[in-house]
Amino acid sequence: MSNYNFIQLRVEEAVGIIELYRSEVLNALNRKMVDEIVEALESYDRNERIRTIVITGNEKAFAAGADIEEMANDDPVTLEKLNQFAVWDKIALVRKPIIAAVNGYALGGGFELVLNCDIIIASEKAMFGFPEVNIGAMPGAGGTQRLTKVIGKTKALEWLWLGETMSAKEAYQLGVINRLVAPEIVFEEAMKFAKRLSKQAPLSLKLIKEAVNKAVDSSLQDGLQLERKNFYLLFGSKDQKEGMKAFIEKRQPNFTGE
């Protein structure tokens, strides 16, 4: 893998870990950092040894927003040329499960990165929100769309318009996050979840993710067609044969990803 300036990578068993590493500015996301995150995600997605991915920050912040100093003097033409959000679109193409382990602040672009993950394990002290309106801006990397799909139009508008922070408890009640845990065990719980997923059939995980994402973004009929196609496709895998044989033989399956 490449050398990175703003993230650190390590692998534990079948879990690829991405640690955001810009603590001096609460992991604020500059453009290069986002490029590194996406490159790492794509690298893990290609690596057959990796079954699941965990993204984490530190105890103070997952990521406290975008790097405002980097973009303060940008103009529309500059932004159009940069097309800086195109790289964010690549996250949705990652087929393996992505789990966010969130401690501290997840604001602005940091919250958008969280919402790009499939499973969110958060600290009881985590804080979420889109404060962009407070500086005359708005989310641009999918925040308005993904938050609305999760919590609905009226609640999304309330949070986006007011620019206030959302407590972890409220985020959990609204269905934004999957699990709420003590601050000191956030990463541990995320890794437990990731390792548990890593024992499942890899192709099943990928095709389930594809089908669920289709359900979010399309009609029921389109989603049903994809679900059925993926169901049929899995019957061509060795893992399906192994899984059903193990069930009949009353033993744990040994999935290989084939």
Among 112, 143, 190, 194, which one carries the catalytic annotation? Answer: 112
CB atoms within 10 A of CB 71: 16
CATH for 202-248 is: 1.10.12.10
Looking at residue 130, what is its pLDDT? 95
Annotation marks residue 122 as catalytic: no
Query: Cα separation of 65 and 152, whole Å?
Result: 22
Annotation marks residue 66 as catalytic: yes
Among 57, 65, 109, 110, which one carries the catalytic annotation? Answer: 109
Annotation marks residue 236 as catalytic: no
User: Is the CATH number 3.90.226.10 carried by domain 7-198?
Assistant: yes
Antiparallel, parallel or unpaired: β 127-129 and 165-167: antiparallel
Looking at residue 2, what is its pLDDT? 64
Match 């406290």 to its residue by tokens: 64
The letter for the amino acid at 13 is E
Looking at residue 69, what is its pLDDT? 83
Tell me the pLDDT of the chain (258 aa) as tens digits: 468 999 999 999 999 999 999 989 999 999 999 999 999 999 999 999 999 999 999 989 999 988 888 888 888 898 888 888 899 999 999 999 999 999 999 999 999 999 999 999 999 999 999 999 999 999 999 999 999 999 999 999 999 999 999 999 999 999 999 999 999 999 999 999 999 999 999 999 999 999 999 998 888 888 888 888 888 888 889 999 888 888 899 988 989 888
Query: Cα separation of 201 and 157, whole Å?
Result: 39
The SS3 of residue 12 is strand
Q: Where are the domains of the chain?
A: 7-198, 202-248
Q: Report whether 29 contacts 113 (CB < 8 A).
A: yes
Report residue 66: phi and psi, to 5°. Answer: -85, 165
Looking at residue 254, what is its pLDDT? 87
CB atoms within 10 A of CB 53: 24
Looking at residue 67, what is its pLDDT? 81
What DSSP letter does each residue of 83-143 carry, written as one string? TTTHHHHGGGG--S-EEEEE-SEEETHHHHHHHTSSEEEEETT-EEE-GGGGGT----SSH
Among 132, 142, 156, 189, which one carries the catalytic annotation? Answer: 132
Looking at residue 53, what is its pLDDT? 98
Annotation marks residue 189 as catalytic: no
Among 14, 66, 122, 141, which one carries the catalytic annotation? Answer: 66
